[in-house]
Amino acid sequence: MIENLFIFSNNILNALFISIVGALIAFLAGEILARLLEKFLGRPFARFIANLLRLAIAILTIKIILDISGAAGVAVILITVLTGSFALGGERFASDILAGIKLFTTQPYTVGDYVSLAGYKGKVINIDIANTSLEGVLGDKIIIPNADVMDGTIVNQSAIEGQMISVLVPLPTGEDLEIAIKAILEGLKDFSDLESPRFAPSVTSDEISFGYIKLKVRAFVSEKVDYGPDKARLMIRAVAALKKNGIALKN
């Protein structure tokens, strides 16, 4: 009985030693491979392939443990898996990994794109197997689990050249609407540095209330994230164009 217990304990120690060595090898091999591939494939894809190598080493380590330690190895593996599952979030972590694989294969966005993901907007600065990181409008780093990314709508603003902005300009109903629109469009001819005709400024109106016609003035700008200053500039230019043509903003 004591002899069997001794053998079982020895097998557990062997299994623990092999698992530690395997984890160390997986970490070092993954880091080396990621650094070698980063200059050719970019950081996200290099990390993805490195993680696949780590997974392969982990599977091989488990096989070695089972071959050498038998039942004791099974116990160590179960304890390790259960502990890792609680530490990493179990099902949630697996969802993030699967979502990361889908992002890798479909590539709806890449590093440097301006996107809207899971309710957050910003510039993509990193994509790994579990998370996507954005640089927000305030310069903050936003880390979004890939499962959250895939659960929501992905908006890639880099798919088009410009970003549309708009402001509302209240025009008294006593003023000539046609003259007002022509004045605003004339004043916005050089507002944007985007040359395509489809990015030309426009003015629409579909609401009258309390003696005012609400003009929606639209224009396109290059900025993808912090376009607040451009909206202020658009409002100033629109109002200045009206004043220049003698159109009052108050009755």
Q: What is the CATH number of the domain that holds 148?
A: 2.30.30.60
Statement to judge: residues 211 and 230 lie in one domain: yes
Of 119, 136, 158, the residue at which a domain comes to its end is 158
What is the mean predicted confidence (pLDDT) over 177-203? 87
pLDDT for 201-247, tens place per residue? 999 887 787 888 889 999 988 776 667 788 899 999 999 999 998 88
Residue type, 103: L
Nearest alpha carbon to residue 76 among 19, 22, 4, 26: 19
What pLDDT, on the 0 to 100 scale, is given for residue 4? 46
What pLDDT, on the 0 to 100 scale, is given for residue 203? 92
What pLDDT, on the 0 to 100 scale, is given for residue 13? 64
**Is 250 part of any domain?**
no
Spatial contact of 115 and 122, defined as CB atoms under 8 Å apart: yes
Domain that holds residue 116: 108-158
Of 119, 139, 158, the residue at which a domain comes to its end is 158
Q: Is pLDDT above 90 for 124? A: yes
Statement to judge: residues 68 and 83 lie in one domain: yes
The sign of the dihedral angle between the CA atoms of 11, 15, 16, 17 is positive
Domain count for the chain: 3
Residue 208: give its domain's CATH number: 3.30.70.100
Statement to judge: residues 52 and 121 lie in one domain: no
What pLDDT, on the 0 to 100 scale, is given for residue 94? 60
Statement to judge: residues 134 and 203 lie in one domain: no
**Is 251 part of any domain?**
no
Q: Is pLDDT above 50 for 162? A: yes
